[in-house]
A and B are shown apart, each in its own frame.
Chain A
Amino acid sequence: MTFLAPTRTRRDMLSLGASGAAAMLLLPTVALATPEKIADEIKKLFGDKPLVPGKIKLDLPSIAENGLVVPLNFEIESPMTEKDYVKSVHFFAEGNPSVGVAAFHFTPMSPKAAAAIRIRLAKTQDIVAVAQMSNGDVYTARKEVKVTIGGCGG
């Protein structure tokens, strides 16, 4: 009497895993955002204004285990009065399928230019923040986030 052979041997499973991994590598066919695209986007928004580093406190984890939910906190130095406030802050991701992450538009009704949000990151990359003050000055900051598991599906 013979036993039925198992339908899937260990070797089968291993080769399945390998082809699965190959498929994963082939997936990201979409064009990724690049620093150049971000530069284009910033130029569209702010023209040729000089970008001054500073004023923005970016709070992002150095290592994000799950790219699907990465907490992003920020605070921008400003008195937030009628005459002197932060007009907007834009966030860009260098390694996501599209450049934009979120853009906050503040008013003098906001007591401080600070907020928290959760974002998706496809892979390890730099996040760039660009803030415009009510007098037109533009400030910038960046931070690298190492992503263990990407968050753009597939």
Chain B
Amino acid sequence: MAAPTPRVRMPATAKAGEVIEVKTLISHDMESGQRKDAAGNSIPRKIIKEFKATFNGKEVLRVDWHPAVSANPYQSFFVRVPESGTFEFVWTDDDGSVYKAEQKVTVG
């Protein structure tokens, strides 16, 4: 599988204190560990187990994902923008790999 590509869609400008919606998507098989290959062997579990959003280093939202989360996980949620700053999004894989995305938001 190609390396997971995270994608984030959110406005780049906002009013101070404004509530905005963040939509995220990452390409990942989210192998549940339940499936079997053609030879009947179990395919080992490999999912993204955690998603985290921070604003200027402060945690906004953390989500634990279980195998019941669909492949190519989509996740949308809401954030408040108190000031100009950077949102960082981090996806953590079962194997310890970390996938990151960043979005600067300017208040003005």
Contact = CB atoms under 8 A, between A and B. Distances in A.
Contacts of B60: 107, 109-110
A96 B34 CA distance: 10
Interface residues of A, number: 32
A68 B71 CA distance: 8
Given A109-B80, A110-B79, A153 B68 contact: no
Interface string B68-80: 1111011111111
A114 B77 contact: yes
Contacts, number: 99
Nearest to B75: A117
Contacts of B65: 102
B69 A110 contact: no
A105 interface: yes
Interface string B57-92: 011111111111111011111111000000000000
Interface range for B:
20 to 34
Interface in A112-151: 112, 114-121, 151
Given A97-B34, A154-B35, A154-B36, A121 B61 contact: no
19 contacts: A100-B66, A101-B69, A102-B66, A105-B63, A106-B61, A107-B61, A109-B58, A110-B61, A110-B79, A111-B79, A112-B78, A114-B78, A115-B61, A115-B78, A116-B75, A118-B70, A119-B68, A153-B34, A153-B35
Interface of B: 19, 32, 34-36, 55, 58-71, 73-80
Given A116-B76, A117-B69, 17 more contacts: A102-B63, A104-B62, A104-B63, A106-B61, A109-B60, A109-B61, A110-B60, A111-B78, A115-B63, A115-B76, A117-B63, A117-B74, A117-B76, A118-B74, A120-B32, A154-B35, A154-B36
